[in-house]
Amino acid sequence: MFNIRKQLRGLYLSSVMGNLSLTGAWVALLAARGFSLVEIGIAETVFHITSILFELPSGVMADVFGRKKMLMVSSIMHFLGSLIMIFSNDLFMVCASIAFQALCYNFSSGTADALAYDSMKKAGIQDRFERFESNQLVIYRVCSGISTLFAGLALTIGYRLAYSTDLICCAVQLIVLSTLTEIGGQKDANDHSTLTRIKCCFTESFLFLRSAGRAMGLMLCNSLIGALDILLLFFLQAKLPERGIPRGGLGLALLFMETGGIVGSRLILRFPKVRYRTVFAVTAALVLTGLLAEHSASYIIMALGGFAAAVGDDALQVRTNAKLQKLFPSEQRATLTSVESLSFSLIMIVLSPIAGAIFTYW
């Protein structure tokens, strides 16, 4: 008998193991090893190129071969990436490690949501998916905050020990994922060849997107707000010290801003009947407030602005993802969720240099 509580507990624990890390400040770890900012920028570029190239294929593979299997592949990619980084001694090996980390992201993004929604649908409780999504974002924000706080520890113990802890988390995550039940994906998979199933998944997803303008609109709205918030929080890491925040207070300020996401993801659950346009308007206003606060002379106001932006970002993401999962057909759920991730990546590529210029000169 299918146990939905066990399934969701497994997904939550897997999320904790996947997001809890001492290597979140990987840029600082590379810099401490003597890599230049140019070399670090090259590694970042490798991550984004790999992510864009494999975002859609990874979603298709999740729908064709199974969501549980691809989550396990994601964990294996993370393991391999960490292992390569431990033994890395040049830029090529660092880039190889970063590429595997990008593949880890690709194979997990949207796959857990697809498995969770179809599992909840099987149990007849899909109307509670918004709460699941909220819990997942809380896990992400808490783990990110913990990783930020322990960035100093990672620098102290060194990158090899730091990445070794990732290996342990990956091993635990694989054990947890092995206990999950495979749900959803393509029906009658054994009746068709692999290539036919992949082609069918691509075709059906394209036809759905072409006819579902509302879904594309939701994706773009959510991706735009998310990109603005992430870029704001990213540049605040550099701007807060310029405004005089004490060295010991930077980590606490970043953690405080992360908690804004927790507040937003829980707050939206209290307004289930509010129209999406209203939610978008309010969350966009919160992010805009954060962007304007960045120009304040006070680091306290800047941190409050970052907090407000995170509230808006995660509130909109919870509501958007719940609406999208209701629209997506089960057979292409992971693929279509990957389309949303791809739209976010493309928007980030466009906005990143623009935001860099704006935050530098304005």
Residues contacting 190, CB < 8 A, separation 6+ = none
Digit-coded pLDDT (tens) for 207-221: 777 777 788 899 999
Choose between 236 and 205: higher pLDDT: 236
Domain ranges, residue 293 = 4-361
Cα 1 to Cα 197: distance, rounded to the nearest angstrom = 29
pLDDT score recorded for residue 289? 96
pLDDT score recorded for residue 353? 78
CA 49 to chain centre: 16
Choose between 175 and 145: higher pLDDT: 175
- For the chain, the average pLDDT equals 88
Helix or strand run (H / E) with residue 109: none
pLDDT score recorded for residue 282? 98
Q: Tell me what the mean pLDDT of segment 30-45 comes to.
A: 86
HSE at residue 148, side-chain half, CA atoms within 13 A, is 21
- Among the listed residues 144, 77, 136, the one whose alpha carbon sits nearest the alpha carbon of residue 112: 136
What is the percent of the chain where pLDDT is above 90?
A: 53
- Give the model's confidence band at 191: pLDDT under 50 very low, under 70 low, under 90 confident, else very high: low
Digit-coded pLDDT (tens) for 273-304: 999 999 999 999 999 999 999 888 899 999 99
- Among the listed residues 154, 55, 126, 160, the one whose alpha carbon sits nearest the alpha carbon of residue 322: 126
- Give the model's confidence band at 186: pLDDT under 50 very low, under 70 low, under 90 confident, else very high: low
Digit-coded pLDDT (tens) for 66-102: 999 999 999 999 999 999 999 999 999 999 999 999 9
- Among the listed residues 60, 281, 18, the one whose alpha carbon sits nearest the alpha carbon of residue 147: 18
Could you please report the per-residue DSSP string of 15-49? Answer: HHHHH--S-TTHHHHHHHTT--HHHHHHHHHHHHH
pLDDT score recorded for residue 18? 94
Check which CATH number belongs to the domain holding 288 and give it: 1.20.1250.20
User: What stretches of 66-90 show up as alpha helix (H) in DSSP?
Assistant: 67-86
Asked whether 322 and 133 are in contact (CB, 8 A), the reply is yes
pLDDT score recorded for residue 312? 97
- At 179, list the tokens: 């206990």
Cα 47 to Cα 50: distance, rounded to the nearest angstrom = 5
Q: Is the pLDDT of residue 243 over 70?
A: yes
Scan for tokens 């240099």, then name that residue.
Answer: 353
Q: Is the pLDDT of residue 233 over 80?
A: yes
Q: How many domains does the chain have?
A: 1
pLDDT score recorded for residue 27? 78
Residues contacting 157, CB < 8 A, separation 6+ = 22
pLDDT score recorded for residue 25? 76
What global pTM score does this model have? 0.82
Cα 170 to Cα 173: distance, rounded to the nearest angstrom = 5
- At 265, list the tokens: 């993801």
**Top-confidence range, 171-175, 185-189, 256-260:** 171-175
- Give the model's confidence band at 8: pLDDT under 50 very low, under 70 low, under 90 confident, else very high: very high
> 309 phi and psi, to 5 degrees?
-65, -40
Q: Is the pLDDT of residue 187 over 60?
A: no
Digit-coded pLDDT (tens) for 137-158: 999 988 988 887 787 788 889 9
